[in-house]
Structure 1
Amino acid sequence: MEQEFARVAIVTGASRGIGRAIALRLAKDGFSVVVNYAGNEARAAEVVSAIRAAGGAAVAVRANVAAPAEVESLYAQARHAFGRVDVVVNSAGVMSLAPIAEGDLDAFDQTVAVNLRGTYLMMLHAAQVLPEGGRFIALSSSVVAKNFPGYGPYIASKAGVEGLVRTFANELRGRHVTVNAVAPGPVATELFLAGKSEALIDQIASQSPLERLGEPEDIADAVAFLAGPDGGWINGQVLRANGGFA
């Protein structure tokens, strides 16, 4: 007899940071979780182990979201493991900082490939499998509104993500599937903290009226709202989860 599973969520970039927190939170909320990772198998396995230790169901699947064949395989493996896909959270992303005048096209291409092309490919396959009541949630960034020097490729990629979200929501008209984005402000992840002095971190934290950095769990809470029953009337929106960092 085939085992019956709860609602199923794919979370890309789930081996660390915000993606990890999202995977753990959705598992806590009763989702079976596909923990996607690009390269760090050991850390993805740790997330799966943590979910299973808490009584949940999870599998790890390696895939580069910028590679069409790997994205197709990700969805296929998710359906093989759990029979369905109800929620897709595209958290995978990269960030390279350099002024436009330096002309680092390799960094630009990689940023756009993972952040924007990856979102497009995840949407492409989500459109084929999400059932009525399904959810697609992309990760953008509140830095889109800041125009910081050096962030050109990253801001361009995330602005594109927000455009795709609004368009995809309209394209799924009549299917009762919602499409939204969560745009974090500064979050205390390894990636964000690396190379920054305590003084700089404190300065950035002070820009929020709440006077602290976000935690990965803060973003996971916002994603869980959109993925859950209370988020069903939110569609085609960008939720700026940033503590007032504006």
Structure 2
Amino acid sequence: MIELKFKDQVVIVTGSSSGIGKACALHFGSNGAHVVVNYSSNEEAGREVVEEIRSNGGSAILVRADVSEEEDVKALFAEAVNQFGRVDVLVSNAGLQQDAPFLEMTLAQWQKVIDINLTGQFLACREAAKQFIAQDQSVNRNAHSELAIGKIVLMSSVHDVIPWAGHVNYAASKGGVMMFMKSISQELAPYKIRVNSVSPGAIKTPINKEVWSDPDKYKSLLQLIPYKRIGTAQDVAKAVAWLASDDSDYVNGETLYIDGGMTLYPEFADNG
């Protein structure tokens, strides 16, 4: 019999109508979780994810929320609790890019990326932590009480450590995610809430199709990846699930790089 590692756990995945978020939602759904699929604007894509989970025997609902809006995030968690009674895992994934050279970047482009990629993480993680603590206080914990009462996995990027000219708003937001994650991990650990992040490198998703669909650009991209392949959304989803599982119960405040070695300074492989 296949072990369903998240059987009957309730998992919220923000920004899960496409890309890495979609892969995470599908993976948790296939492992027995009740999945809360979140979208901001593409309802049809979100419904397709829910239907795919359900068609494979899983459980899922669809909830619209803009993670940069406080009331939307509160409503997202309220609906999850209303439907399933609790929340066990948050995958704070929603993010976007609005690229421009620094000297030409508008305040609106800067603010939009910070609002979604960083403020959105703050709002989602805060509501998750509040919910974990509230539901833990409402029950009598028993012998399994050494395990975490809730798990949070934040979606960062290799650009939390690799500078990225032409994308300063994105890189700044992801650098902020790293220190935000570490700080709340330190603060929430006494409550038995685990907080970690994953930092994907080059992953084959719609956001970077322009690169991986062009043979010349793809060849150039591989020069940055020692492992010589682009990653898949499933590569990231499996890492996220491990961090959200009891298998990693003593892992807290860490960033797991899913990048094929992109952060290994590949240009120095031949002595620089």
Tell me the distance in 2 between the aligned counterparts of 1:50 and 1:206: 35
Alignment of 1:16-27 (within 5 A): 16-27=18-29
Tell me the distance in 2 between the aligned counterparts of 1:231 and 1:198: 38
AA paired with 1:16? S
What SS does the aligned partner of 1:192 have?
Answer: helix
* TM-score, normalisation: structure 1: 0.95
Question: Which consecutive unaligned segments of at least 5 residues does structure 2 have?
Answer: 1-6, 137-147, 264-272
Work out whether residues 206 and 212 of structure 1, in 8 Å CA contact, stay in contact via their aligned partners in 2: no
Tell me the distance in 2 between the aligned counterparts of 1:75 and 1:234: 25
Cα RMSD (Å): 1.3
AA paired with 2:36? V
Alignment of 1:26-175 (within 5 A): 26-130=28-132, 131=136, 132-175=148-191
**What's the offset of the Cα at 1:98?**
1.3
AA paired with 1:23? A
AA paired with 2:155? L
AA paired with 2:42? N
Equivalent residue, structure 2, for 1:223: 240
Tell me the distance in 2 between the aligned counterparts of 1:186 and 1:173: 31
Which deviates the most, 108-117 or 141-150? 141-150
Tell me the distance in 2 between the aligned counterparts of 1:206 and 1:212: 10
Deviations 1:168-218 (A, max 9, x none): 111113221100010000111111113663211221123212101110000
Work out whether residues 193 and 201 of structure 1, in 8 Å CA contact, stay in contact via their aligned partners in 2: no
- Aligned pair partner of 2:224 in 193, 207, 210: 207
Identity of aligned residues (%): 37
Structure with bigger gyration radius: 2
AA paired with 2:176? G
Tell me the distance in 2 between the aligned counterparts of 1:194 and 1:244: 22
Equivalent residue, structure 1, for 2:195: 179
AA paired with 2:228? E
Deviations 1:66-115 (A, max 9, x none): 00000000000000111100000011001111121114111100000000
Question: Which consecutive unaligned segments of at least 5 residues does structure 1 have?
Answer: none
AA paired with 2:88? D
